[in-house]
Amino acid sequence: MTEKPKLSTRFEQALVYATQLHANQLRKGSDIPYVSHLLSVAALVLEDRGDEDEAIAALLHDAVEDSGNAAIREEILVQFGERVATIVDACTESSTIPKPPWRDRKLRYIEQMRHASPSVLRVSIADKLHNARSILADRDREGDAVWDKFKGGKAGTLWFYRSLLAIYRRGCSNFLVAEIERIVDLLESLK
């Protein structure tokens, strides 16, 4: 008996769409194409046994925030459905440009995660885990100068991750949470 593939052409369409939306973006302070982050987040979601909607939301989780455009949110809704759009909404720190002040955005996001569904938490954890891994890799290459890329600096960034970890631990227990905790511990311990 042949099993139905986990991913359909909807995932392929989302991958193309995400690649087009972020075509001219690079990872913060690097020459790495931004789509690498989206691919990594989607991979983590799938490795955590996420479903297709969650994987699509992982590919699109920054689309509204980076564009500041309500029309993008509407396109996501029409092309990929209410569940994907809802996950993207919950993972969006800000949908306006210019963005609100850093701390206000982070506090709002933390509050959103307090009330998040398991699907939203899965995508959020995967997003923050990949970001934390990237910070660690950059820290190994650049030393403490890595923290200059972040508005919150080292203290603010680690505060944000610790605040989210407290929520993630309550909301679920899996390898993603254990891994982000390990990375954050390591970042805190580096002198």
- Positions annotated as catalytic residues are 65-66
Q: What single-letter DSSP state applies at residue 5?
A: P
- Contact call for residues 159 and 184 (beta carbons, < 8 A): no
> Given the structure tokens 């009330």, which residue do they identify?
115
- Contact call for residues 87 and 116 (beta carbons, < 8 A): no
Tokens of 161: 């991750």
